[in-house]
């Protein structure tokens, strides 16, 4: 049985940049905005986690946003602090040169004040691997970009409420794929199986969180 409190953070949102959080970053060839896609999959993850409670789990889920609004990076992490979350997952999509592909996850390095790097990294590997495998099952062109370290404000332990003495919250930023690639646009947005693929990604994230909390 999995038991715990989760905060899902759909990246970006709104129309203005706020305290380090851009309103939007990546845009697909068909014109889909990253901010809308992060919210869509974030809500799917929420619903999948709550549905899992029908099978004996005890999971509470909170969203940093459930509409098209933007919050600063510290404000997003503060939701995890205020809800005493066990897991904080910030969901994003990449965009680069129209060719780069793959799934990657980020944790904050120890040198940037991460007091629970090992726990963050272990959870990051769970979620990145499951999402990569879900996408690979439908598109062999995706790449396993692994888990990386980067000083990201949304993963600040101070903002998350973690201290060296008490650091319950595992925090990861997930980059699902590069949506500026035509094949990914088809896979996730415009293709006939796009809705199914999005649900499978959400299911993979749900499974990783349940594994983390079990």
- Residue 29's pLDDT band (cuts 50, 70, 90): very high
Give the per-residue pLDDT at 147. 98
Give the Å distances, CA to CA, from 181 to 10, 32, 33: 21, 12, 13
d(CA 101, CA 139): 11
Average pLDDT score, the chain: 98
- Residue 118's pLDDT band (cuts 50, 70, 90): very high
Sheet hosting strand 103-107, strand order edge to edge: 58-63, 3-10, 87-94, 170-178, 103-107, 144-149
Percent of the chain topping pLDDT 70 = 100
Phi, psi of 199 (to 5 degrees): -65, -35
d(CA 145, CA 132): 9
Annotation: CATH topology of 3-213: Aminopeptidase (3.40.630)
Domain ranges (residues) in the chain:
3-213
Give the per-residue pLDDT at 94. 98
**pLDDT per position as a tens digit, 36-64:** 999 999 999 999 999 999 999 999 999 99
- Alpha-carbon Rg for the chain, nearest whole angstrom, is 16
């Amino acid at each position: 049985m999995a038991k715990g409190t989760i905060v899902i953070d759909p990246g970006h949102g709104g129309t203005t940049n706020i305290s380090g959080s851009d309103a939007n970053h990546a845009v697909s060839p068909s014109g889909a905005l990253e901010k809308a896609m992060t919210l869509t999959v974030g809500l799917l993850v929420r619903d999948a986690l709550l549905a899992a409670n029908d099978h004996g789990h005890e999971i509470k889920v909170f969203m940093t946003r459930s509409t098209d609004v933007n919050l600063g990076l510290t404000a997003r992490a503060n939701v995890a602090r205020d809800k005493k979350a066990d897991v904080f997952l910030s969901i994003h999509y990449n965009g680069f040169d129209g060719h780069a592909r793959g799934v990657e996850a980020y944790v904050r390095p120890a040198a940037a004040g991460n007091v629970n790097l090992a726990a963050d990294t272990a959870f990051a590997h769970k979620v990145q691997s499951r999402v990569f495998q879900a996408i690979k099952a439908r598109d062999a062109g995706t790449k396993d970009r692994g888990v990386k370290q980067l000083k990201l404000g949304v993963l600040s332990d101070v903002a998350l409420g973690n201290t060296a003495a008490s650091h319950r919250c595992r925090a990861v930023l997930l980059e699902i794929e590069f949506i500026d690639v035509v094949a990914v646009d088809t896979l996730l947005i415009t293709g006939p199986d796009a809705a199914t693929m999005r649900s499978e990604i959400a299911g993979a994230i749900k499974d990783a969180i349940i594994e983390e909390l079990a």
